Structure 1
Amino acid sequence: MSNEVYITKSSTYLPNGPVSNDEMEDYLGLVNGKPSKAKALILRNNGIKTRYYALDKNGNFTHTNAEITAKAVEGLFDDQFTKEDMQLLSCGTTSADQIQPSHASMVHGVLKPSHSIEVNTSMGLCNSGMNALNYAYLSVKAGAVNNAVAAGSERFSAWMTADKFNHEVENLKLLEEKPIVAFKREFLRWMLSDGSGAFLLENKPRENQLNLRIEFIDFYSYAHELEACMYSGSEKQEDGSLKSWAEYSSDEWLNQSIFALKQDTRLLDEYILKKGAQSLRASFDKHNLDPNDMDFVLAHISSNYFKDGLREEFAAVGLDFPVEKWYYNLSEVGNIGAASIFIVTDELIKSGKLQKGQKVLLCIPESGRFAYSCAVLTVC
């Protein structure tokens, strides 16, 4: 017999203060010593007004990803649940501080409870946070543990500082090419943010407060149909395949920004919304759900550019959610990848808008090679 699983507490950690659009290059630096020509256009389209960086204006890092994650997890601890009560820690991120050891192991090391616990790390892109949540959810549901902490986090700023791109610019100069960073690389400098969010999952709801019961979490991948759209540690080839960093020389790692996070914006525009609608329709059919029963729709989007298009694509497959049901915070906190859905859910929980019996729909796209997840939560 499986257990019901409840989100009994949520937490967000955003490092330092909000950074305005005009301040971004004060923190990230100037590539080739010049202001970006693409920045204004990208910001106008994505609609992000402020974001957070684990950086100061001197380019010094103020937090590691593991420390950012630990801060969100610590926000879950109280008189009813201390770090000594934690049985499982499941963490998802795109931007771990190192290739090995695992990110969750590093977070466990920062938290330093007095006991050994099970740790799980999910690596990938935006869905890595939901993968981490799913592992925690299934562990509690199966009765393997009574509680689990799931977290999503990013420290993208460390990938986006100007020095990471200057080697490529110098190489382009030597080749007498136009000395700018390719748009597919620069695009993401103005999209991404740092931060973390965490949920406490338990097999019983807490009394005298609102809890969110997880009804299901579904995942869909379209990698069998589509090539990679967002990638790092590799370079896309003419046939759409990815050539691994391990197949390049160490000089090429710098000159071609092999480790930079890149986005094929052509593929993004063509498929991200269409496949998102297809996957969500499949979940609604699988669980025999009525879209009218959803009270809040929390869709992770990378840019406000996609807002209207996403609603239209959903409506085209019979999922016509009224505008007033959609809940976003992208403009205020930026795109925090694997952490975004945790953070917006935490904000909704603390907004005072939720009432018992309401249903919350979570939708998370991942453009890496077009993977999607969704979940339904019931307020109880």
Structure 2
Amino acid sequence: MKNVYITRIAKFLPNEPVDNELMEEKLGVINGQTSKARRIILRNNQIKKRYYALDSQGNVTHNNAQLAAEAVNALCDDSFSKNQIELLSCGTSSPDQILPSHAAMVHGFLKNGNLEINSPSGACCSGMNALKYGYMAVKSGQVNNAVCTGSERTSSWMKSDIFEDEVAHLKEIEEQPILAFNKEFLRWMLSDGAGAVLLESQPNGNLPLKIEWMEGYSYAFELETCMYAGGDKQEDGSLKPWSEFPADVWGKMSLFAMKQDVRLLSENILQKGVESLKQAMAKHNITEDEIDFYLPHISSYYFKENLYNEIERQGLHFSWDKWFLNLQKVGNVGAGSIYLMLEELVHSGKLRKGNKILLQVPESARFAYSYAYLTVV
């Protein structure tokens, strides 16, 4: 088996940053009324700026595949061109279409010759699963290099017109035309962007990061669906997919909007996260003292202090000086968030040879967690 190094890392954030007061102007108001939940949600998540692939009139400027392709292009220069890429592995929770796959569409925009592609599905962990596929391919010698991406374009899923059919239907049946909180919650949480890394078997570059190991854990065997799109959650906790509904109710129920069971999220996301963290650390026999930088993907600063407390409760200790977050500046970019965090850390000037970095990515879809442990070489 070969060693695997992250030798380049890049990002692409579309357009100008959007502050909290401009969000509703970009996404649109529903039923002609400003959101009452928006300020509460923003006060809890503490996100100050985010990016949308929308222009000043709310028109789409980039689709998801274009965002990822831009991040890949940002990796390349005269010494490494996109035509040298041997494997393209792209993760997202908001693909532009059901078929073709996300990576196929990214490849279509890159137009960089014949290569292998991989498109892991899922939510936030899909970006890490894209990384793991590239990691295993380089490690096993199947390819000499791999480019992996994590990206999201959720703004178009959150625009007001997605919900207008449902609101109109509620008026028709004389019910209050207010969206359920599980639908509105994510409108003020998610944002757009992409990150990309180049993996190679040699420690090229100025400050390469060796991937020591990667791990993944799923709790779907014991927990029901929490975050979902393309279906509706039933009273018994099961998920009924869009394909089992008549086509004329897809809009009336906003079936393709992203939704979050907030109660289930708060009850499980931190506990299972620390439980899986302890499993990964025990498997690879590392302690807190062997982690210099801890990069946990959190969807909201509401979870920051609670995560710290849960880590302490379960017998670990990560002092605050180890934590590195950038949620307030770039927003929650789902599968792309961990790439954006690592990119900022790499370019921060804080890293020194020998530093150890732990990446932790949870996904609430049905509670899965991904980990990577890196060494600065």
Q: Which residue in 2 is equivalent to 1:374?
A: 371
1:175 is displaced (CA, Å) by 2.0
Q: Which residue in 2 is equivalent to 1:174?
A: 172
Identity %: 57
1:80 is displaced (CA, Å) by 2.4
Q: In the alignment, is residue 313 of structure 1 matched against residue 310 of structure 2?
A: yes
Q: Which residue in 2 is equivalent to 1:281?
A: 278
1:225 paired residue among 222, 225, 228: 222
1:160 is displaced (CA, Å) by 0.4
Q: Which residue in 2 is equivalent to 1:348?
A: 345
1:317 is displaced (CA, Å) by 2.3
Question: In terms of mean alpha carbon deviation, does 13-22 or 176-185 score higher?
Answer: 176-185
> 2:116 and 2:306 mapped to 1: Cα distance?
41
> 2:168 and 2:68 mapped to 1: Cα distance?
35
Q: Which residue in 2 is equivalent to 1:95?
A: 94
Q: Deviations over 1:193-243 (max 9, x none)?
A: 000000000000015x11100011100000010000000100000110000
Q: Which residue in 2 is equivalent to 1:258?
A: 255
1:234 paired residue among 231, 234, 251: 231
Q: Which residue in 2 is equivalent to 1:68?
A: 67
**Structure 1 outlier segments of 4+, above 4 Å:** none
Q: Which residue in 2 is equivalent to 1:159?
A: 157
Q: Deviations over 1:276-323 (max 9, x none)?
A: 000000011100101111000000000000001111111222321001
3-state SS in 2 of match to 1:31: coil
Letter of the 1:368 partner, please give it: A
Q: Which residue in 2 is equivalent to 1:123?
A: 121
1:145 paired residue among 125, 143, 146: 143
> 2:310 and 2:282 mapped to 1: Cα distance?
16
> 2:369 and 2:53 mapped to 1: Cα distance?
28
1:367 is displaced (CA, Å) by 0.3
Letter of the 2:12 partner, please give it: Y
Letter of the 2:352 partner, please give it: Q
Letter of the 1:152 partner, please give it: G
> 2:256 and 2:63 mapped to 1: Cα distance?
18
Q: What TM-score results when the alignment is normalised by the length of structure 2?
A: 0.99
Question: In terms of mean alpha carbon deviation, does 244-253 or 193-202 score higher?
Answer: 244-253
> 1:22 and 1:285 mapped to 2: Cα distance?
45
3-state SS in 2 of match to 1:84: helix
Q: Deviations over 1:250-275 (max 9, x none)?
A: 12100000111000000000000000
> 1:259 and 1:112 mapped to 2: Cα distance?
30
Q: Which residue in 1 is equivalent to 2:37?
A: 38
1:171 is displaced (CA, Å) by 1.2
Q: In the alignment, is residue 206 of structure 1 matched against residue 204 of structure 2?
A: yes
> 1:44 and 1:365 mapped to 2: Cα distance?
22
> 1:79 and 1:201 mapped to 2: Cα distance?
17
1:56 is displaced (CA, Å) by 1.3
1:178 is displaced (CA, Å) by 1.6
Letter of the 2:115 partner, please give it: I
Letter of the 1:282 partner, please give it: Q
1:373 is displaced (CA, Å) by 0.7
RMSD, aligned α-carbons? 0.8
3-state SS in 2 of match to 1:297: strand
Q: In the alignment, is residue 184 of structure 1 matched against residue 182 of structure 2?
A: yes
> 1:28 and 1:280 mapped to 2: Cα distance?
36
Q: Deviations over 1:173-205 (max 9, x none)?
A: 122222111100000000000000000000000
Letter of the 1:150 partner, please give it: C
3-state SS in 2 of match to 1:165: helix
Q: Which residue in 2 is equivalent to 1:111?
A: 110
Q: Deviations over 1:63-93 (max 9, x none)?
A: 0111100000011112321111110000000
Superposition pairs for residues 354-365 of structure 1, below 5 Å? Answer: 354-365=351-362
Q: Which residue in 2 is equivalent to 1:296?
A: 293
1:339 is displaced (CA, Å) by 0.2
> 2:69 and 2:43 mapped to 1: Cα distance?
33
> 2:128 and 2:161 mapped to 1: Cα distance?
32
3-state SS in 2 of match to 1:339: helix
Q: What TM-score results when the alignment is normalised by the length of structure 1?
A: 0.98
1:3 is displaced (CA, Å) by 0.4
> 2:289 and 2:79 mapped to 1: Cα distance?
36
3-state SS in 1 of match to 2:104: helix
Letter of the 2:228 partner, please give it: Y
> 1:371 and 1:111 mapped to 2: Cα distance?
31
> 1:84 and 1:52 mapped to 2: Cα distance?
29
1:41 is displaced (CA, Å) by 0.3
Letter of the 2:150 partner, please give it: G
3-state SS in 2 of match to 1:199: strand
3-state SS in 1 of match to 2:61: coil
1:337 is displaced (CA, Å) by 0.2
3-state SS in 2 of match to 1:10: strand
Ranges in structure 2 where 5+ consecutive residues have no aligned partner? none
3-state SS in 1 of match to 2:98: coil
Count of paired positions: 377
